Each structure stands twice: as structure tokens, then as C-alpha cells.
């Protein structure tokens, strides 16, 4: 087994799942892949099950019974990764917004001393392809907003293409991770930073999905907007 694991949460990704698995497992530095599927009604997990024998123990599947948000799916994946002794643990979407070919650069940042490597759209201008302008603006200003409220020294606070050293995930209290959607990405970075771990942004280009449907919703956005303020306040009062 490799010491590097890519966790991919899925909900109704039948159009993308086989191709993203093949792409992630064909990156040079052998990464294992864990799919965390929330019992997708479109049968995503059946496709994964069919592929498992082909990859000699490098492809793993965890199925959760209900759709419970990407944050919860990642926490499940993190616990699985720690229980299985992975040292380098990555988050990646199934929809090819994140290019699996960038995984080695995230990994390299961890090897060179970062505890959290962030695939960043905004460390070097705005590197987003095919997103409608309102999504780009919302995401860009969300990062600015997070920075103003929390001081978190990161240009892309909602980035979902990241890598952790295992010790970060061992240190954070995973059962206390509260947010389910975009807020989850902010919460993880903020908690990692206040524990004095080293964060490093690695520039990436983000491309909008071409297949399947987006799962973003207005309550996820609301959770993030108010959640950031509550994170800051709870930290001020020593409650994190
Ligand atoms: N297990 C699980 N995975 C989820 C859930 N919600 C989203 N995902 C997955 O998380 C990843 C990101 O979700 P997307 O729908 O692409 O969200 P997004 O990237 O904000 O939206 P788009 O940019 O419009 O695609 C994808 O791999 C989804 O299948 C969930 O509730 N449970
Ligand atoms: Mg997406």
C-alpha cells in the first residue's frame, strides 16, 4: 500500500467516476484512491465496485447510508485514512474541476515541509476556466471576506483541492468539524492555521465541471457566510 491517499467524495457522479479514478491512479507517484459515496441513487458506487479488482488494492470504497454533505464525507474519509496509516492525505472533487496531474505538486509541497498544501486558484491572479462570472466573483470575494474576518493568510480559503500531513488530521478534533459545505473547507484551513501548522499555496488552474450536476445550494453559501464569523468569535473566546 502507498503512503499517499486521494479522497474523492461522490454524490451522483456516474458520468465522471470511472475517468477520474483512472486519471488519479495513473499519476506517476502511486497514490491510492478512496471514494466516499453517500449511496448515490445513480449507482456511482456500483461502477467503483466493478473497478476495484483491476487496481490491486489501490482503489478503496466507503459507502455512507445518506447524503450528508461533503464535509461529513471527508471526515469519514480522514478517519479511514488515519486508521489505515496513510501519511499524505489529499482531497479532490470527482468532476475534473481539479486536475489529477497537479497531485504531485501538492505532494511535493508536503514533502518540502508544508503541513497543509492548498491548490490555490487565487495566489497568482484568478485561474478559473469556464465558471460563470457570478461564481468566480462569489468565490473570489468569499476568500477576501474570510481573510478580513479571520486574518487567515490564504488567498483561496474555500479551495477543495488540498493535501494534509497525517499529523494535522490527528491533531484536529474531527468530531467537532461543524460545517458541511464550502464552510468545511474554510473551517479546516482556519483550524489548521490556529494550531500553528504550516500552510502553503500551490497555484492550480480550476476548470468547471462539464459532466454531471453541481450540488451547490444557497444554504451551503449561508452556512459559510455566517459560519466564518462564528469561527472567529469562538476562537476569540477560546472555544475552538
Ligand atoms: N459523499 C458526498 N459527496 C458530495 C456531496 N456533495 C457533493 N459531493 C461531491 O463533492 C465534490 C464537489 O461537489 P460539486 O457538486 O462539484 O460542488 P462544486 O464543485 O461546489 O459545484 P460545481 O462547481 O458547480 O461543480 C463532487 O465530487 C461531488 O460529487 C455529499 O453530500 N456527499
Ligand atoms: Mg465541482
| Residue 117, number of CB atoms within 10 A of its CB | 26
195 confidence band (pLDDT: 50, 70, 90): very high
Domain extents for the chain? 4-236
Which ligand 1 atom is nearest residue 209's CA?
A: 25
Pair type for strands 88-91 and 162-165: antiparallel
Is the domain 4-236 a CATH 3.90.550.10 member? yes
3-state secondary structure 57-87: CCEEEEECCCCCCHHHHHHHHHHHHHHCCCC
Q: What is the pLDDT of residues 50-84, one digit of tens each?
A: 999 999 999 999 999 999 999 999 999 999 999 99
Q: From CA 149, how far away is CA 41, in angstroms rounded?
A: 39
Substitution candidate for ligand 1 out of 6, 7, 8, 11 with most atoms within 8 A of CB:
11
- Return the minimum-mean-pLDDT range out of 32-36, 70-74, 220-224, 231-235: 220-224
pLDDT value of position 181: 78
The DSSP code for 204 is -
Which ligand 1 atom is nearest residue 180's CA?
A: 31
Tell me which residue has cell 515541509: 113
Identify the nearest ligand to the CA of 8 by its number.
Answer: 1
Amino acid at each position: 500500500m502507498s503512503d499517499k491517499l486521494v479522497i474523492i467524495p461522490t454524490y451522483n457522479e456516474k458520468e465522471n467516476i470511472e475517468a477520474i479514478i483512472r486519471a488519479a491512479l495513473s499519476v506517476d507517484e502511486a497514490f491510492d484512491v478512496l471514494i466516499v459515496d453517500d449511496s448515490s441513487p445513480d449507482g456511482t458506487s456500483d461502477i467503483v465496485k466493478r473497478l476495484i479488482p483491476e487496481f490491486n488494492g489501490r482503489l478503496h470504497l466507503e459507502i455512507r447510508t445518506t447524503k450528508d454533505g461533503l464535509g461529513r464525507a471527508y471526515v469519514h474519509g480522514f478517519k479511514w485514512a488515519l486508521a489505515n496509516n496513510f501519511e499524505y492525505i489529499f482531497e479532490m472533487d470527482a468532476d475534473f474541476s481539479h486536475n489529477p496531474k497537479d497531485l504531485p505538486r501538492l505532494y511535493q509541497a508536503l514533502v518540502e515541509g508544508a503541513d497543509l498544501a492548498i491548490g490555490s486558484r487565487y495566489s497568482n491572479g484568478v485561474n478559473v476556466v469556464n465558471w460563470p462570472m457570478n461564481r468566480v466573483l462569489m468565490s473570489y470575494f468569499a476568500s477576501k471576506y474570510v481573510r478580513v474576518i479571520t486574518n487567515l493568510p490564504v488567498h483561496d480559503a474555500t479551495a477543495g483541492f488540498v493535501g494534509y500531513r497525517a499529523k494535522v488530521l490527528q491533531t484536529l478534533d474531527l468530531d467537532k468539524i461543524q460545517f458541511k459545505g464550502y464552510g468545511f473547507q474554510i473551517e479546516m484551513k482556519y483550524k489548521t492555521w490556529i494550531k500553528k501548522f504550516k500552510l502553503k499555496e500551490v497555484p492550480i488552474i480550476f476548470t468547471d465541471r462539464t459532466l454531471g450536476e453541481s450540488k451547490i445550494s444557497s444554504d451551503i453559501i449561508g452556512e459559510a457566510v455566517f459560519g466564518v464569523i462564528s469561527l472567529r468569535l469562538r476562537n476569540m473566546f477560546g472555544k475552538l
